[in-house]
């Protein structure tokens, strides 16, 4: 067991762009991990960037508005990110399979149209792979080699059988994972199970190609790890002992959230099941095994991860599941530094960033610093108080941090500046800080980020382009209209690339 603090990983000044995969341009209604992603890597290289940050790669569900933070699997890749263009190039699809696609918007993802269209094409690719035999052999080997693939494939097949009902509403023998019942179902639905394994095999193959290209260009892939998982997920179904569930209903006994604060009088009741960190006075081995496997999986996919809601490892808000709001919850101590010590080699080689936004206690700060993980600084939060605001660049006491103009949960910087709910005093302070008239506020914020002592500066693509809130990715506490923004190809220009390179070079952030 490692006893010394984990060391900070980001050692040199670098910069990067935040753009989720679904937001990439492309001909089939949604960004994917094919040619356009590889072209974007080259754009990043030419723009002097060293990091590409994106949101979780997991599958999404219409039941949760296609949020990547409420996925049916923390291990699987989203089939909607599989490149149709690459499947055509490899002969797993033919042009007649695609036919005449729907008229997709290049500015927004229409999941209701994209999902059936792409899943139908993946089924055609599956049938052609079965006939050719060689491609399907790789999927069969992947299914046998990786336990999570079998769990995921069987989970998705059974959900289809029961009209997408949550797993805790399935017949008891399936919900409680009776071995004979699962074996019988796996045999009965053999083709459906193999199809989902085939999708994961395609995702893995295409993703590793993208990762190899990123490494050749010196770009580090920066992923996202939500601390909690969806109650209706294969993670909970296949690892029930790891979660605090009612033994009769199999639903969460308590759920995650945050307490009431300035932004919400009733707090936020997220509804995710909580981890059963201990059994009596002993640590629960199941939950640690699951987390270790999760880190190992992410280590194969990315070079860097942001741990969402990092403070939950120090203490978390525990809400009885019967409560309609988060008011009547309580703080419970988390596993703390011992958790990360026990992850051991699963963390080796990963850069880890702690999402430490919101109300952070000295205990959370102590945990983050003892692990050497950089925290986050968001410039949109810097101008709403006084000169001691911790998000102001002159108050970045430790360069071991990541500075953002904003995140996927914020307004764009132009949207922030134009928002009548943002005080004129805050806007005036921002302009004074930047010595600016505000006409190019997004570039003012980029220069603030680049010029700061933070070792890593990440800029959302919307801020690179000066887009308003019609291009915002997510509005927390809303369930409709999120996760849809797409970057039209005409906005990825040499002018933008040269401008970013010039700033990155001026502030000593260009790799090598």
Single out the catalytic residue among 97, 178, 213, 308. 308
Single out the catalytic residue among 204, 351, 355, 444. 355
- Estimate to the nearest angstrom the gap between the alpha carbon of 149 and the chain centroid: 19
What six digits make up the tokens of 312?
């939950």
CB distance 452 to 401 below 8 Å: no
> In whole angstroms, what is the distance from residue 82 CA to residue 297 CA?
18
**Closest CA relative to residue 460, chosen from 420, 500, 430, 506:** 500
Catalytic residue list contains 355: yes
Cβ neighbors of 146 (< 8 A, separation 6 or more) are: none
CB distance 55 to 47 below 8 Å: no
Catalytic residue list contains 409: yes
> In whole angstroms, what is the distance from residue 489 CA to residue 165 CA?
39
Tell me whether residue 230 is exposed, middle or buried, using C-beta atoms within 10 angstroms of its C-beta: 0 to 12, 13 to 18, 19 or more: buried
| DSSP structural state of residue 412 | P
Phi first, then psi, for residue 246 (nearest 5°) are -70, 125
> In whole angstroms, what is the distance from residue 36 CA to residue 489 CA?
9
Cβ neighbors of 286 (< 8 A, separation 6 or more) are: 239, 241, 242, 276
Cβ neighbors of 208 (< 8 A, separation 6 or more) are: none
Beta carbons within 10 angstroms of residue 98's beta carbon: 18
> In whole angstroms, what is the distance from residue 503 CA to residue 458 CA?
13
Q: What is the dihedral of CA 134, 137, 138, 140, to 10 degrees?
A: 160
Beta carbons within 10 angstroms of residue 367's beta carbon: 23
Catalytic residue list contains 470: no
* Ramachandran category for residue 423: left, alpha or beta (phi over 0 → left; psi -120 to 50 → alpha): beta
Single out the catalytic residue among 97, 409, 419, 469. 409
What are 273's strand-pairing partners?
A: 255
Cβ neighbors of 85 (< 8 A, separation 6 or more) are: 26, 27, 32, 34, 35
What six digits make up the tokens of 440?
């190019």
Q: Distances from the Cα of 426 to the Cαs of 217, 339, 389, in angstroms?
A: 40, 40, 12
Phi first, then psi, for residue 266 (nearest 5°) are -110, 5
> In whole angstroms, what is the distance from residue 22 CA to residue 486 CA?
7
> In whole angstroms, what is the distance from residue 186 CA to residue 184 CA?
5
> Catalytic site residues?
308, 355, 409
């Amino acid at each position: 067991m490692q006893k010394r603090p984990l060391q900070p990983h980001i050692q040199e000044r670098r910069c990067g762009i935040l753009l989720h995969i679904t937001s990439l341009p492309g001909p089939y209604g949604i960004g994917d991990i094919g040619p356009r992603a590889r072209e974007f890597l080259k754009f990043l290289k030419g723009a002097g960037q060293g990091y590409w940050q994106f949101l979780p790669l997991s599958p999404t569900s219409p039941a949760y508005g296609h949020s990547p933070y409420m996925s049916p699997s923390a291990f699987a890749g989203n089939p909607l990110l599989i490149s149709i263009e690459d499947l055509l190039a490899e002969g797993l699809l033919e042009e007649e399979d695609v036919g005449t696609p729907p008229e997709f918007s290049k500015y927004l993802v229409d999941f209701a149209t994209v999902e059936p269209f792409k899943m139908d094409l993946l089924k055609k690719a599956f049938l052609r792979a079965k006939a050719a035999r060689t491609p399907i052999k790789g999927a069969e080997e992947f299914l046998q080699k990786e336990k999570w693939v079998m769990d995921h494939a069987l989970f998705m097949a059974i959900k289809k059988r029961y009209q997408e009902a949550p797993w805790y509403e399935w017949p008891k023998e399936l919900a409680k994972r009776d071995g004979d019942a699962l074996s019988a179902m796996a045999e009965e639905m053999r083709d459906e199970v193999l199809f989902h394994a085939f999708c994961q095999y395609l995702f893995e193959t295409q993703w590793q190609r993208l990762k190899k290209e990123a490494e050749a260009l010196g770009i580090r892939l920066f992923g996202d790890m939500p601390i909690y998982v969806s109650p209706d997920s294969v993670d909970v179904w296949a690892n029930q002992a790891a979660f605090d569930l009612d033994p009769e209903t199999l639903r969460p006994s308590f759920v995650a959230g945050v307490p009431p604060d300035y932004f919400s009088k009733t707090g936020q009741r997220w509804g995710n099941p909580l981890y059963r960190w201990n059994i009596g006075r002993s640590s629960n081995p199941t939950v640690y095994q699951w987390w270790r496997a999760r880190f190992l999986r992410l280590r194969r996919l990315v070079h860097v991860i942001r741990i969402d809601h990092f403070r939950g490892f120090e203490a978390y808000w525990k809400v009885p599941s019967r409560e309609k709001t988060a008011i009547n919850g309580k703080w419970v101590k988390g596993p703390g530094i011992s958790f990360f010590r026990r992850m051991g080699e699963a963390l080796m080689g990963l850069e880890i960033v702690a999402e430490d936004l919101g109300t952070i206690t000295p205990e959370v700060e102590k945990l983050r610093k003892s692990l050497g993980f950089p925290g986050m600084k968001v410039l949109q939060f810097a101008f709403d108080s006084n000169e001691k605001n911790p998000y102001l660049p002159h108050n970045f006491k430790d360069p071991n941090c990541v500075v953002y103009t904003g995140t996927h949960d914020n307004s764009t910087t132009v949207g922030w500046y134009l928002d009548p709910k943002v005080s004129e005093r805050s806007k005036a302070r921002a302009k004074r800080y930047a010595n600016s008239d505000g006409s190019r506020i997004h570039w003012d914020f980029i220069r603030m980020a680049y010029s700061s002592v933070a070792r890593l500066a990440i800029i959302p693509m919307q801020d690179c382009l000066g887009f308003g809130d019609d291009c915002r990715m997510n509005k927390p506490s809303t369930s409709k209209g999120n996760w849809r923004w797409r970057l039209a190809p005409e906005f990825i220009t040499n002018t933008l690339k040269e401008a970013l390179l010039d700033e990155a070079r001026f502030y000593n952030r260009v790799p090598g």
